[in-house]
A and B are shown apart, each in its own frame.
Chain A
Amino acid sequence: MYPTRFRYEAPRSLDEAIGLLHDGGEDAKVLAGGQSLVPLLKLRFASPTVLVDLNTVPGLDHHDVDESGNLHVGALCRHGDLERSALLKSTQPVMAAAARLVADPLVRSRGTLVGSLCHADPQGDWASVVLALGGSVVAAGPGGLRSIPVRDFVHGPFQNALAHDEIVVEAVIPAPRGIPGGGYLKLERRVGDFATVGVAVAVERDGDTVTCAGIALTGVGAATIEAADAAQALVGGPLTGDVIEHAAGLAAQAARPQGDHRGSADFKRHMVRVFVRRILERAA
Chain B
Amino acid sequence: MTSVRVIEEGPDQGDVPTRRITVTVNGHRSVVECEPRLLLSHLLRQGLRLTGTHLGCDTTNCGACTVLVDDRPIKSCTMLAVQADGRAVTTVEGLATPSGLHPLQEGFKEEHGLQCGFCTSGMLMAAKALLAENPDPTEDEVRWALSGNLCRCTGYQNIVKSVLWAAARLRNEPEA
Residues on A lying within 8 angstroms of B by beta carbon are: 1-8, 10, 31, 34-35, 38-39, 41-43, 51, 53, 55, 80, 103-107, 109-110, 191-192
What are some 29 contacts across the A-B interface (CB < 8 A)? A2-B37, A2-B38, A4-B37, A5-B13, A5-B35, A6-B36, A7-B17, A7-B36, A8-B36, A8-B82, A10-B85, A34-B80, A39-B59, A39-B60, A39-B78, A42-B39, A42-B58, A103-B148, A104-B63, A105-B73, A106-B74, A106-B149, A107-B60, A107-B78, A109-B72, A110-B74, A110-B78, A110-B79, A192-B148
Q: How far is the CB of A160 from chain B (nearest CB, A)?
A: 21
A106, B36: Cβ atoms closer than 8 Å:
no
Contacting residues, chain A, for B36 (C-beta < 8 A): 6-8, 51
Q: A3-B37, A8-B19, A35-B60 are in contact. Are A106 and B148 (CB under 8 A)?
A: yes
Q: How far is the CB of A20 from chain B (nearest CB, A)?
A: 14
- A93–B54 Cα distance when bound, in Å, is 38
B19, A106: Cβ atoms closer than 8 Å:
no
Q: Which residue of A lies closest to B146 (CB)?
A: A105
Contacting residues, chain B, for A80 (C-beta < 8 A): 72
Flag whether B147 is at the interface (Cβ < 8 A): yes
Flag whether B75 is at the interface (Cβ < 8 A): yes
Q: Which residue of B lies closest to A2 (CB)?
A: B37
Q: Which residue of B lies closest to A51 (CB)?
A: B36
Q: How far is the CB of B138 from chain A (nearest CB, A)?
A: 15
Residues on B lying within 8 angstroms of A by beta carbon are: 13, 16-17, 19, 35-39, 42, 58-61, 63, 66, 72-75, 77-80, 82-83, 85, 126, 144-149
- A191–B79 Cα distance when bound, in Å, is 20
- A1–B42 Cα distance when bound, in Å, is 10
Q: Which residue of A lies closest to B61 (CB)?
A: A192
- A7–B80 Cα distance when bound, in Å, is 12
A34, B16: Cβ atoms closer than 8 Å:
no
A192, B147: Cβ atoms closer than 8 Å:
yes
Interface SS of chain A: helix, strand, loop or mixed? mixed
Q: How far is the CB of B56 from chain A (nearest CB, A)?
A: 12
Contacting residues, chain B, for A107 (C-beta < 8 A): 60, 75, 78, 148
- A4–B60 Cα distance when bound, in Å, is 18
Which of the residues B35, B38, B148 comes within 8 Å of A104, measured between beta carbons? B148
- A107–B76 Cα distance when bound, in Å, is 11
- A80–B75 Cα distance when bound, in Å, is 14
Q: A1-B58, A8-B19, A35-B60 are in contact. Are A105 and B147 (CB under 8 A)?
A: yes
Contacting residues, chain A, for B73 (C-beta < 8 A): 105-106, 109
Q: A51-B36, A105-B147, A192-B147 are in contact. Are A38 and B17 (CB under 8 A)?
A: no
Top 4 nearest A-B pairs (CB, nearest first) are A104-B148, A8-B36, A106-B148, A191-B147
Q: Which residue of B lies closest to A35 (CB)?
A: B78
Apart from A5-B13, A103-B148, 14 more pairs, CB < 8 Å: A1-B58, A2-B42, A3-B37, A5-B16, A6-B37, A34-B79, A38-B39, A41-B37, A42-B39, A42-B77, A43-B59, A105-B145, A107-B75, A192-B147
Contacting residues, chain A, for B17 (C-beta < 8 A): 5, 7-8
A38, B126: Cβ atoms closer than 8 Å:
no
Q: Which residue of B lies closest to A43 (CB)?
A: B59
A38, B80: Cβ atoms closer than 8 Å:
yes
- A80–B144 Cα distance when bound, in Å, is 13
A105, B80: Cβ atoms closer than 8 Å:
no
Q: How far is the CB of B172 from chain A (nearest CB, A)?
A: 26
Q: How far is the CB of A3 from chain B (nearest CB, A)?
A: 4
B144, A105: Cβ atoms closer than 8 Å:
yes
- A38–B80 Cα distance when bound, in Å, is 8
Q: How far is the CB of A12 from chain B (nearest CB, A)?
A: 13
- A38–B36 Cα distance when bound, in Å, is 12
Q: How far is the CB of B93 from chain A (nearest CB, A)?
A: 19
Q: How far is the CB of A263 from chain B (nearest CB, A)?
A: 20
Q: Which residue of A lies closest to B149 (CB)?
A: A106
B60, A38: Cβ atoms closer than 8 Å:
yes
Contacting residues, chain A, for B82 (C-beta < 8 A): 8, 10, 53
Q: Which residue of A lies closest to B35 (CB)?
A: A5
A55, B83: Cβ atoms closer than 8 Å:
yes
